[in-house]
Amino acid sequence: MSEQPLKIMVIDDENIVGKRLKPALEKTGDIVETFEEGEKALARFDESPFDIVVTDIRMEKIDGIEILEHILAKSGRTKVIIITGYATVEIAREALSKGAFDFIAKPFKPADLRAIIERASKELRS
Amino acid sequence: MSIIIISSDVREIEEMIAGKVAEEKGYGRLDRRIINDVAARHQVEPGRLIEALETTPSLFRKLSSRQWRYYLSCIEADVLERLLADNLVCWGLAAHLYVTDISHAMKIRVLAGKSSGLAKIAEERGISLQRAETYRDDEMARRKKWSLAAFNQDETDLSRYDLVISLDQIDPVETVRTITGASEYRKFQVMTYSMKCLTDLALAAKVHAVLLKSMADVKVQARDGSVVVSTRASTRQKRKKTETIKALAGQVDGVGYVEVHVKKNFLKETA
């Protein structure tokens, strides 16, 4: 029996990130929705939770850590993966402390993110 | 999964606490027992490596600055490579000075304090507590000088540690419990970013050691298999040095691309 596709949300204010990641992540049959604004993404999440959320940290209005907190308060089972071009030890530790599943610095290859999603998927299905 | 790096102002205390933490966590130990392996791998005398960890260059001991840096780079390269295995307690190899910006490496400083640390020194050396305090202060000043010379880091600066424990306030049993407890915090767990940083750091150290064997004054940075080497050379030597660096660094496992930045060596230029 084939596994249910994962619902994956990608949030990044740089349009190109969502454009690149969407087809790469959909290759394995998962359902991917991309957002450039945090508020719209959270409104969509409140309507219907996602299994995995991939979010940038530095964004206008709502940053990635606020998104992480909001999502985990709504759905403890969702795996949140933080992506950032401004990675530091402090930010990485803060993200993990607040419940992020993983943290990856930009630029990265779609395959690197895919590997993290596979691990998250295993945990979700275990 | 994490790395715990322990250092102390008193070597015996460092060893005692680190050993107990490793036992408690069921982690592997990374300490000076690797020195023989490091020496064999780099074909140097083990005693010279220990000497490099303890002292600064000296004409009397026939330890030149260039040799000293090479020996330290051999230790650093091996330690970083071993740290990629994770779940380790590391001490006695100066890792607290070169494992930088790795979020899953928790750095601990244990301050021996008067009651246990000085008493231990006094007992082992058969001296008074007052003399033991002077000895400890001299030792700390020496280590500060050494750490600044070796890695441009002041090991006595407590702000660079994740956790500082004074044995005057917390007994050794509680210290071990505190360290093992803190190591469970999510912030110290391995993540994709921190593992990548450690992989890059280990590759840079490996290339650095290879280059320091035959030349001085090189700095190495690595990212995803690409290596950037910065050095100095006279205009006349620039091309040859660049080619040598590219050839040597290119042979290191994991290196895919080498870029060399050469600054003018004005001293040699005017000589």
Task: Report residue A16's pLDDT band, with 50, 70 and 90 as the boundaries.
Answer: very high
Q: Do A104 and B192 touch (CB under 8 A)?
A: yes
Cα separation, B217 vs B249, in Å, equals 15
Q: CATH no. for residue B245?
A: 3.30.1340
* B126 and B31 within one domain: yes
Q: Is residue B17 part of a domain?
A: yes
The CATH code of the domain that includes B42 is: 3.40.50.300
| Residue spans of alpha helices (H) in chain B | 11-25, 35-42, 46-54, 65-83, 95-98, 119-125, 129-151, 172-182, 192-212, 235-250, 266-270
Same domain, B52 and B157: yes
B147 and B254 housed in the same domain? no
We report the CATH number of the domain holding residue A109 as: 3.40.50.2300
Burial of B230 (0-12, 13-18, 19+ CB in 10 A): middle
Do residue B149 and residue B99 come from a single domain?
yes
Same domain assignment for residues B154 and B234: no
In a domain, B193, yes or no: no
Does residue B219 share a domain with residue B150?
no
Q: Which of B14, B31, B25, B40 is nearest to B79 (CA)?
A: B31
Give yes or no for a cis peptide into A5 (omega within 30° of 0): no
- Calculate mean pLDDT across residues A39-56: 96
pLDDT at A9 over 60: yes
Go through chain B and tell me how many residues it has.
271
CB contact under 8 A, B194 and A99: no
**Percentage of the residues of chain B whose pLDDT score is greater than 70:** 97
Which contacts (CB < 8 Å, 24+ apart) does range A102-105 have? Answer: A102/B191, A102/B192, A102/B193, A103/B191, A103/B192, A103/B193, A103/B194, A104/B191, A104/B192, A104/B193, A104/B196, A105/B193, A105/B196
pLDDT tier for residue B60 given thresholds of 50, 70 and 90: confident
Beta bridge partners of B30: B90
B:34-93 residues touching chain A, CB 8 A cutoff = none
Average pLDDT over residues B57-71: 88
What are the pLDDT digits (tens) for A86-115? Answer: 999 999 999 999 999 999 999 998 899 999
pLDDT value of position B122: 85
What percent of chain B is predicted at pLDDT more than 90? Answer: 78
Confidence of residue B269 (pLDDT cuts 50, 70, 90): low
Give a yes or no: residue B37 inside a domain. yes
Q: Are strands B88-90 and B3-8 parallel, antiparallel or unpaired?
A: parallel
Kindly report the pTM of this predicted structure: 0.92
Nearest residue on chain A to B102, alpha-carbon basis = A89
> From the list B103, B192, B196, which residue is nearest A93 (CB)?
B103
Q: What pLDDT is stored for residue A1 in this prediction?
A: 44
Same domain, B13 and B134: yes
**How high is the pLDDT of residue A2?**
59
pLDDT band at B59 (very low <50, low <70, confident <90, very high): confident
Query: Which residues of chain A have a CB within 8 Å of the CB of B188?
Result: 93
Chains A and B form CB pairs within 8 A to the count of 39
Residue B265 has pLDDT above 80, yes or no: no
Contact flag B192-A96 (C-beta cutoff 8 Å): no
| Residue A100, domain member (yes or no) | yes
Examine the domain organization and report whether B61 and B156 are in the same domain: yes
Instruction: Read off the pLDDT of each residue in B219-247 and give the average, rounded to a whole number.
Output: 95
The total domain count for chain B is 2
Q: Confirm whether B195 is domain-assigned.
A: no
ipTM, interface predicted TM-score of the complex: 0.93
Q: Is residue A1 part of a domain?
A: no
Q: Does B101 touch chain A (CB under 8 A)?
A: yes
pLDDT at B270 over 60: no
pLDDT average, residue stretch B72-90: 96
The more confidently predicted of residues B58 and B185 is: B185
Q: What's the domain range around B250?
A: 214-270
Chain A CB within 8 Å of residue B191 CB: yes
State whether residue B189 is helix, strand or coil.
coil
Report if residue A2 sits inside a domain.
Answer: no
Residue given tokens 């080619």 in the structure block = B243
- Name the pLDDT band for A126 (thresholds 50, 70, 90): confident
* A89 vs B contacts (CB less than 8 Å): 101-103, 194
Do B177 and B225 reside in the same domain of the chain? no
How high is the pLDDT of residue A60?
87
In a domain, A27, yes or no: yes
Looking at residue B89, its amino acid is V
Query: Between A1 and B103, whose confidence is greater?
Result: B103
Contact B192 A97 (CB under 8 A): no
Q: Is residue B244 part of a domain?
A: yes
Task: Tell me if B245 is assigned to some domain.
Answer: yes
Using a CB–CB cutoff of 8 Å, tell me whether B184 touches chain A.
no
B50 belongs to a structural domain: yes
Domain count, chain A: 1
Assigned domain for A73 exists? yes
Tell me if B225 is assigned to some domain. yes
B224 and B166 in a common domain: no
Q: How much is the average pLDDT of B66-78?
A: 97
List pLDDT tens digits, range B114-167: 777 788 788 888 888 888 888 888 988 999 999 999 999 999 999 999 999 999
CA B115/CA B100 separation, integer angstroms: 32
Let me know whether B144 and B251 are in one domain.
no
Q: Please compute, for residue B37, the number of CA atoms within 13 A of its CA located in the half-sphere on the CB side.
A: 11
On the question of pLDDT at B266 being above 70, the answer is: no
At B109 the pLDDT is 97
B75 shares its domain with B129: yes
* Residue A90 maps to a domain: yes
- Domain containing residue A29: 7-125
Per the domain annotation, does A88 fall within a domain? yes
